[in-house]
Structures are given as structure tokens and as C-alpha cells.
Amino acid sequence: MLVYHAALKKHEGLDIDELRDWVIQYRDHLCHWFTVNDLNYLKRGGRVSATSAIAGTILSVKPILHVDKDGHLILREKVRGRRKSLGELVEHMEKFCVRPEKQTIFIGHGDCIDDAGILASIVEQRFAPKNIVVNYIGPIIGAHTGPDVMTLCFFGSEK
């Protein structure tokens, strides 16, 4: 998302120094919230214990995670059910997003286009952003999160 916006700024005429300053200013305001559908992939990566993965799977627990300003993966909460997890992503957007009507919001998914469409629809109805870009999550991130990962990225008051 940061590269996308930096490319737009370059197209608007920013020179390399102005572009560097813009990236430095906005990088700590890029909010990246996500949820996974299967805890076993987080278990394989050492993010959760085997017991937590088994219990969470049985109870349909979906973690709500984000990446902080230092690049650390932070568990913010746990909810039960996929629909609830998508709703919680939107709730976090409401808390932190700055002027969504002027933003291009990014939604990433791990081969769950229907859920991405649901999330995009909720974001569109609630915030009326300038644009929504829906993309697939790449194989590197997907290997850590598993299929059905859902991300919501936007610029906010803090990372």
C-alpha cells in the first residue's frame, strides 16, 4: 500500500527527496489489521502453541492481529466466528482511520474472494472511501497465515 501511494505521489510530480520525506512521514501511519481462519498455520510458524491451535480451532476462535510501528505482530483480541472477525477489522478501522473518504483502502485475501467482497461491501457502506483495492496475499505471507487470511490496510492516526 505504501508503494502504491508513493507511486501516485511520484506521478503527481514529487522529486526523489520529497518522495523520501513523504514515505518517512506516512510509513508510521499505515495500519495493517488482519485475521486468519485456521490457527494451525500460526502454530507451524511458532506464533501459537499446539494446545491453543487445537482449542481455538474447536471453538472457532479467530485472532485479530496487527503489525505495530516496530514491525512486531501483535494479537489485539480473539473473537468467535469468521463474520465476527471481519466485523472487528472494520471496528478497528473506525477507531484508527483518518479521513477514509479521501483514502484508497486495501483489502488482501488468501483465496477467499467472497469474504473479501463482504469486507469491501461493509467498508464501502460504513466509510465511503475514495477507492477500495482488493488483492491476493502472496505465497510468502500465505505460507505463514494459511488460506483465508483477510487483511485491511489504511492510513490512520497511529500504526
**DSSP strand pairing (131-136 vs 104-109):** parallel
Helix (H) or strand (E) holding 155: strand 150-155
Task: Report domain extents, the chain.
Answer: 30-155
Nearest C-alpha neighbor of 31 from the set 111, 144, 107, 114: 107
**DSSP strand pairing (150-155 vs 104-109):** antiparallel
Question: What is the rounded average pLDDT of the residues 73-100?
Answer: 95
Give the amino acid at 21.
D
Percent of the residues in the chain that have a pLDDT greater than 90, as a whole number? 74
Taking 90 as the threshold, does the pLDDT of residue 102 lie above it?
yes
For domain 30-155, give its CATH number from 3.30.1180.10, 3.60.10.10, 3.40.449.10, 1.10.3470.10: 3.30.1180.10
Give the amino acid at 60.
S
Where does the pLDDT of residue 141 fall: very low under 50, low under 70, confident under 90, or very high at 90 and above?
A: confident
Alpha-carbon gap, residue 59 to 71, rounded angstroms: 29
Q: Report the predicted TM-score, pTM, of the whole model to 2 decimal places.
A: 0.92
Are 69 and 58 in contact by the 8 Å Cβ rule? The answer is no
pLDDT at 69: 83
Where does the pLDDT of residue 72 fall: very low under 50, low under 70, confident under 90, or very high at 90 and above?
A: confident
Give per-residue pLDDT as tens, 120-140. 999 999 999 999 999 999 998
